[in-house]
Chain A
Amino acid sequence: MAHFDDKAMPFGNKWMDERIGLNTLKRVLNTEYWIPKDINFLWAMGMVLAATFGILVVSGIFLLMYYKPDVNLAFDSVNYTIMSEVGYGWFWRHIHGVGASIVFLIIYIHMFTGIYYGSYKRGRELIWLSGMGLFVAFSAEAFSGYMLPWGQMSYWAGMVITNLFSGGSLEAYGLVEWIRGDYVPGDAYLTRFFMLHVLLIPLAIIGLIVLHFGTLRLPHVNNQEGADIDYKESAELWKAGKKKESKVIPFSPVFLSKDLFVMGVYFIIFFYLVFYNFEFSMDPVNFDPADGLKTPAHIYPEWYFLWSYEILRPFSKDIGLIAFGIAQIAFVFLPFADRSPNVAPAHKRGLFNIWFWVLLIDMIVLTAMGKLPPTDPVFAMIGLVSAVLFLAMGPLLVLITMFEKKIEKGA
């Protein structure tokens, strides 16, 4: 039964609680959302990602004030107007560029943390899948944003990536032209990617973040040992004042303060990069205006796409496309390819530990090879071997984990 206290102070705690259930919300999302004690700074990466996304949105809003989505105006609106005329325009652009690059570094750390501790299975499958949704959405967001300055790399990356949709021998050029709205990337192409970058994909990302958080609430985050914590018991201990004995702490304000500490360190590094070392996030080739009659000597994507680009490159067109397609979706299947019942850190899982490090190193090698021009035969060979190895890692995981011994908990 609704009951409204006439004497409650407007917008005060009681007044709000009676109208939107503020206390229930706080309890479910903060004070009684339990976080295990046995975790480390890697568990702060999720909140670091959320904060970085926030910074990208804010800096993007300011860029939007002067950006012009038109093939004749875009390049100057960014490189002249925003960079040298708008007060502090360079500041928003450097934040946006550094943020877009660093967010992928943190995403990869966040993903590999999840893989290392087995946080993608036994109740946490949906966390992983919604996370992959975020990865895809962020990739699309980064690519569409890269088109906007309409420099040489924008144009030619757009040309090469949209051509992927011709499907090789399927020769679906109609589909490619449909995506572009033109025979080559042109005005229609720029304005539709502008729409995707500033509205549709950010909306999807916000929805996916809400879903990602939602999928975390019931299984709770994993912990360093993969221990199956009795949350009810531990919560009772905490509430009874036995904070030492309890294995958990409330998300807010206790855990959040730890998150905030890691974020503080992160933002010191982040803004150091924004002010003193932003060049890594801005490709010099993209400071030449787009020219459909001149390909840059060497086309490569931003660093975070290099590993999958390198899986495309060493093969003939059709096989390259198939390999690339597999690489794009491979991580989605992780919760189902890992057949072992163990939720435990990799160093306790025997062969899986080796698998984990081989995967990580292989992706770093692919990234390095992807940056090099295609002409050196030694590097091309290393690239080919790493690409084949990457494709073999999926079946290998199924095999390894099928025979993994069950770890007895509490031992």
Chain B
Amino acid sequence: MEQQEEGRRDFMGMALGAWAVVGGVGALYAAKRSWDPLPSVKAAGFTTVEMNDKKENELVVEKWRGKPIFILKKSADMEAHDRDVVMNGSRFHVSIGLCTHLGCIPAYQSDNKEFFCACHGGVFDVSGVNSPGLPPPSPLEIPPFRIDGTKLVLGESGPEYKKMLDAGLTV
């Protein structure tokens, strides 16, 4: 009798326990999804930038998905790099203006022709390549772009961007 009762009690415990586990896993998944970025955030639009009016060695900062985008028209004395966006014979450095160390915005120093990150002392050259031995581990990232005449569309991947991606010049 006592044994039978114990078996029934155990059954109640195990049945509820098993369902609680199922419910718990479901709730965890729901919690995870609630923390996901909203669809409206993810669909955050595309930014189109007119490139014709840019001046050499003068940094322009645009905004795309809340992030600063560096656009720097290179002057003739600046070394060419495969990371440059070439449009109508001009070379541009285009990158997401967030330090690859921990995400501060490096400042452009037009006299030294380099980007300096004040947070932990990172340095990037005019092609966005990081100086070795400092905290930033990789070059500034290039945002997905497509060339459209004299305009640059940020957020779309054109053939020039895909080539850079395949060559491992950005992530």
- Does B151 interact with chain A (Cβ within 8 Å)? no
Q: Is the beta-carbon distance between B121 and A182 smaller than 8 angstroms?
A: no
**What per-residue 1/0 map shows which CB atoms of B84-123 lie under 8 Å from chain A?**
0000000000000010111111010000000000111100
Report B15 CB to chain A, min CB distance, Å: 29
The CA-CA distance from A178 to B136 in the complex, in Å, is 23
**What per-residue 1/0 map shows which CB atoms of A155-177 lie under 8 Å from chain B?**
01001100110001101000001
- Does B38 interact with chain A (Cβ within 8 Å)? yes
Q: Given known contacts A316-B135, A316-B137, A317-B101, is B35 in contact with A179 (CB within 8 Å)?
A: yes
Q: Is the beta-carbon distance between A318 and B63 smaller than 8 angstroms?
A: no
What 5 additional pairs, Cβ within 8 angstroms, besides A168-B137, A186-B66, A295-B107?
A184-B66, A295-B105, A298-B119, A316-B134, A375-B121
Q: Is the beta-carbon distance between B171 and A171 smaller than 8 angstroms?
A: yes
Report A140 CB to chain B, min CB distance, Å: 15
Q: Restricting to A286-311, which residues have a CB under 8 Å from any CB of B? A: 292-295, 297-299
The CA-CA distance from A153 to B158 in the complex, in Å, is 36
- Does A313 interact with chain B (Cβ within 8 Å)? yes
The CA-CA distance from A169 to B101 in the complex, in Å, is 10
A residues lining the B interface (CB < 8 Å): 156, 159-160, 163-164, 168-169, 171, 177-184, 186, 188, 192, 292-295, 297-299, 313, 315-318, 320, 373-375, 380
* Nearest B-chain residue to A169, judged by Cβ: B137
Partner of B118 from the list A159, A184, A295, A320 (CB cut-off 8 Å) is A295
The CA-CA distance from A292 to B67 in the complex, in Å, is 7
Partner of B66 from the list A178, A292, A315, A373 (CB cut-off 8 Å) is A292
A and B contact pairs by CB, cutoff 8 A, 19 listed: A159-B102, A164-B102, A177-B37, A179-B35, A180-B37, A182-B66, A183-B65, A188-B38, A192-B35, A292-B67, A293-B68, A293-B105, A294-B105, A295-B105, A298-B118, A299-B119, A317-B102, A374-B120, A375-B121
The CA-CA distance from A375 to B101 in the complex, in Å, is 16
Q: Given known contacts A178-B35, A293-B68, A374-B120, is B103 in contact with A160 (CB within 8 Å)?
A: yes
The CA-CA distance from A159 to B105 in the complex, in Å, is 10
| B136 contacts across to A, CB distance below 8 A | 317
| A159, A168, A179, most chain B CB atoms within 10 A | A159
- Does B44 interact with chain A (Cβ within 8 Å)? yes
**What per-residue 1/0 map shows which CB atoms of B48-72 lie under 8 Å from chain A?**
0000000000000101011110000
**What per-residue 1/0 map shows which CB atoms of B22-43 lie under 8 Å from chain A?**
0000000000000111100100
Q: Is the beta-carbon distance between B36 and A178 smaller than 8 angstroms?
A: yes
Q: Is the beta-carbon distance between A317 and B118 smaller than 8 angstroms?
A: no
Interface size class of chain B, counting residues whose CB lies under 8 Å from the partner chain:
20 to 34
Task: Tell me the dominant secondary structure on chain B's binding face.
Answer: loop
The CA-CA distance from A374 to B125 in the complex, in Å, is 19
Report A352 CB to chain B, min CB distance, Å: 35
Q: Is the beta-carbon distance between B118 and A181 smaller than 8 angstroms?
A: no
Report A294 CB to chain B, min CB distance, Å: 7
Report B61 CB to chain A, min CB distance, Å: 6
| A179 contacts across to B, CB distance below 8 A | 35
| B41 contacts across to A, CB distance below 8 A | 181-183, 186, 188
| A374 contacts across to B, CB distance below 8 A | 118-121
Q: Given known contacts A316-B135, A317-B136, is B36 in contact with A181 (CB within 8 Å)?
A: yes
The CA-CA distance from A181 to B44 in the complex, in Å, is 13
Q: Is the beta-carbon distance between B105 and A317 smaller than 8 angstroms?
A: no
Report A156 CB to chain B, min CB distance, Å: 7
Partner of A292 from the list B37, B68, B101, B137 (CB cut-off 8 Å) is B68
The CA-CA distance from A168 to B36 in the complex, in Å, is 21
The CA-CA distance from A294 to B104 in the complex, in Å, is 9
Partner of A295 from the list B35, B38, B104, B135 (CB cut-off 8 Å) is B104
